[in-house]
Structure 1
Amino acid sequence: MPQSAQPNTQQAALWNDVSGKAWVEMQPILDGVLAPFERLVVDAGYPGEGGSVLDIGCGAGATSLAMARRVGNDGRCVGLDISRPLVALATERARLEKVANASFEVGDAQTYAFESAHFDTVVSRFGVMFFDDPVAAFTNIRQAARRGGKLAFVAWRSPVENDFMTTAARAAAPFLPPAPVPDPEAPGQFAFADGAKVKRILEASGWSSIKVEQADVLCQIAFGDLMTYVTRLGPVGAALREVDQATAEKITTVLPGAFAPFMEDGKARFNAACWLVTAAA
């Protein structure tokens, strides 16, 4: 599958450098936290035994590997991600875990020259909210699916509904310069918070039978893993790479207390508020 030029240059730079490398290092932690969504997406997108599946924004490959096992040896799953470090890890995991019907490629789904009408299902676990032009991206993705093929993905709902996800940023805010007001139309974690917007994007991209349903999933993470996560990834992780040592110490000191309301028996437990989106090509 050859590829044309990528428009998502900022995302490509991010995921091929600091963020991609951090996700590689934290893969076991992240897969553990996101495991419930892996099951949700695989169940929603399962095309049947022997089916062919495309996983957009496959990351370190957990969802791709799970789907490859589900479709069996006569099926296959191809994972696509913009991050070379994550694709390299996913490829190695498939080899080590002996999942021969899973393969991985580096590419931007907005511009990738997919083979037309090739997949029974397209899935994604939090991998589709980052396109500069989501209509162009989902139009291109639709062309990769067979007529009547499935689309199934999860995306975060609003920050207000995901207070756990924004706890670290709120705790760190008093020690950092004022952050610009987020542009709800810009690519990012909460770019699909508006379910009506998601439906409009898919309609404009030629998908049909669109359903945007609320999915609330209980997640948990050990305290030590949580502190590693919030100081390495997300807006606080990015800020800590830029501030002086004294400011960094102030931020890391307040973080445990900020997460105290979520803690029980050494683990943070929280509700993850998402959309489960399904459609047909």
Structure 2
Amino acid sequence: MPHAASPPSQHDLWNGPAGDAWVQAQSLLDGMFAGFEPVLADPIAAEPDARVLDVGCGTGALCLAIADRQGPQGRCSGVDISAPMIAVARERALAAGKAIDFTVGDAQQHPFAPASLDRIVSRFGVMFFDDPVRAFGNLRRALRRGGRLHAIAWRSPADNPFMTTAERAAASLLTLPARAEGGPGQFAFADAGVVRKILDDSGWDHIDIAPLDVECSIARDALPTYVSLLGPVGQALRAEGLDPDLRQGVLSTVVDAFAPFVRGDRVVFTAACWSIRAA
């Protein structure tokens, strides 16, 4: 079996293979996670002139949803470490006629203006900090008095079998990098107690962490694209030098492993998350 290389830094990952894959899968991912938009964006409709920052904004779907709800008075911005994804976000905002400020930057050290924001939101963007206490402290200083944070993060792998199906199915065919325990990554915020301590240590108050389950889906015929682009298996399948027959065999095996989630022409799963609020 091919051997996995040591994991790249978050900056290199999201400005390299992972960022490129998310750009290619933009429309698939926007549809998959559309159910989170009303959770994060609808409350902002009542604050049309609020200054809102989306942390880990990716290709801009949530910012666009917020801008739609705010209307012409809106002041929405997004920050992400991935230059490829920010480039797409800017193109999408321009095409939609939305004045959204997108910045390439690391939110754990970016020099945000103090007390300049009313709302900070994030959909799966806060689990990748090398130093989460530093990151949330930096974000807290950017929030005005009375401002609020609302972030969504994944619960545990056990709560999200869809998200680990590909890895489990490919385990006998590929050597994949182990998910780092306690380090930055998709499930870094699986433990609500750890998240609460991070927020406590970085100066946040009124912390509320509650389970949030959202039904998500993709088209059944999009499964090969999903598998070949995203996650550790997608990264392995895109590796240079991988035997084409092995690649096709892994892809076929992994796609078949998603059978329990197939409902007609859709693949349906529950995203088991934390809704994280603080002020």
TM-score between the two structures when normalised by the length of structure 2 = 0.93
Q: Secondary structure at the match of 1:251?
A: helix
Structure 1: runs of 5+ lacking an equivalent: 1-8
The alignment of Structure 1 onto Structure 2 pairs a total of residues equal to 270
Mean Cα displacement is larger for which, 169-178 or 271-280?
Answer: 169-178
- Name which of 158, 161, 180 aligns with 1:163: 161
Instruction: Report the Cα offset of residue 45 of structure 1.
Output: 5.7
Q: Secondary structure at the match of 2:33?
A: helix
- Where in structure 2 are the equivalents of 1:228-239 lying within 5 Å? 228-239=225-236
Q: Distance in 1 between matches of 2:176 and 2:182?
A: 20
Instruction: Label 1:50 to 1:179 Cα distance change in 2 as closer, same or farther (>3 A).
Output: closer
Instruction: Report the Cα offset of residue 156 of structure 1.
Output: 0.4
- Where in structure 2 are the equivalents of 1:178-189 lying within 5 Å? 179-180=177-178, 182-189=179-186
Mean Cα displacement is larger for which, 105-114 or 41-50?
Answer: 41-50
Task: Name the residue aligned to 1:3.
Answer: none
Q: Distance in 1 between matches of 2:170 and 2:83?
A: 31
Is 1:221 paired with 2:198? no
Task: Name the residue aligned to 2:264.
Answer: 265
Asked if the contact 1:110/1:137 (under 8 Å) is kept, the reply is yes
- Where in structure 2 are the equivalents of 1:238-249 lying within 5 Å? 238-242=235-239, 243-249=242-248
- Where in structure 2 are the equivalents of 1:120-135 lying within 5 Å? 120-135=118-133
Q: Deviations over 1:130-174 (max 9, x none)?
A: 000000000001111101210001000000000011101100001
Give, as a single letter, the amino acid of the residue that structure 1 aligns with 2:244.
Q
Asked if the contact 2:176/2:236 (under 8 Å) is kept, the reply is no
Q: Distance in 2 between matches of 1:32 and 1:178?
A: 27
Give, as a single letter, the amino acid of the residue that structure 1 aligns with 2:88.
L
Instruction: Label 1:46 to 1:155 Cα distance change in 2 as closer, same or farther (>3 A).
Output: farther
- Where in structure 2 are the equivalents of 1:1-281 lying within 5 Å? 10-43=9-42, 48-100=47-99, 102-177=100-175, 179-180=177-178, 182-242=179-239, 243-280=242-279
Asked if the contact 1:47/1:120 (under 8 Å) is kept, the reply is no
Give, as a single letter, the amino acid of the residue that structure 2 aligns with 1:247.
L
Instruction: Label 1:171 to 1:94 Cα distance change in 2 as closer, same or farther (>3 A).
Output: same
Give, as a single letter, the amino acid of the residue that structure 1 aligns with 2:188.
A
Q: Distance in 2 between matches of 1:23 and 1:134?
A: 23
Q: Deviations over 1:6-35 (max 9, x none)?
A: xxx811111112211221121111100011
Asked if the contact 1:54/1:122 (under 8 Å) is kept, the reply is yes
Q: Distance in 2 between matches of 1:234 and 1:278?
A: 27
Q: Distance in 2 between matches of 1:201 and 1:32?
A: 31
Give, as a single letter, the amino acid of the residue that structure 1 aligns with 2:221.
G
Q: Distance in 2 between matches of 1:54 and 1:279?
A: 15
Mean Cα displacement is larger for which, 226-235 or 153-162?
Answer: 226-235
Instruction: Label 1:196 to 1:27 Cα distance change in 2 as closer, same or farther (>3 A).
Output: same
Q: Distance in 1 between matches of 2:219 and 2:212?
A: 23
Q: Secondary structure at the match of 2:206?
A: strand
Task: Name the residue aligned to 1:4.
Answer: none
Give, as a single letter, the amino acid of the residue that structure 2 aligns with 1:257.
D
Asked if the contact 1:45/1:122 (under 8 Å) is kept, the reply is no
Q: Distance in 2 between matches of 1:92 and 1:10?
A: 26
Q: Secondary structure at the match of 2:73?
A: coil
Q: Distance in 2 between matches of 1:47 and 1:238?
A: 41
Asked if the contact 1:45/1:150 (under 8 Å) is kept, the reply is no
TM-score between the two structures when normalised by the length of structure 1 = 0.92
Q: Distance in 2 between matches of 1:158 and 1:54?
A: 26
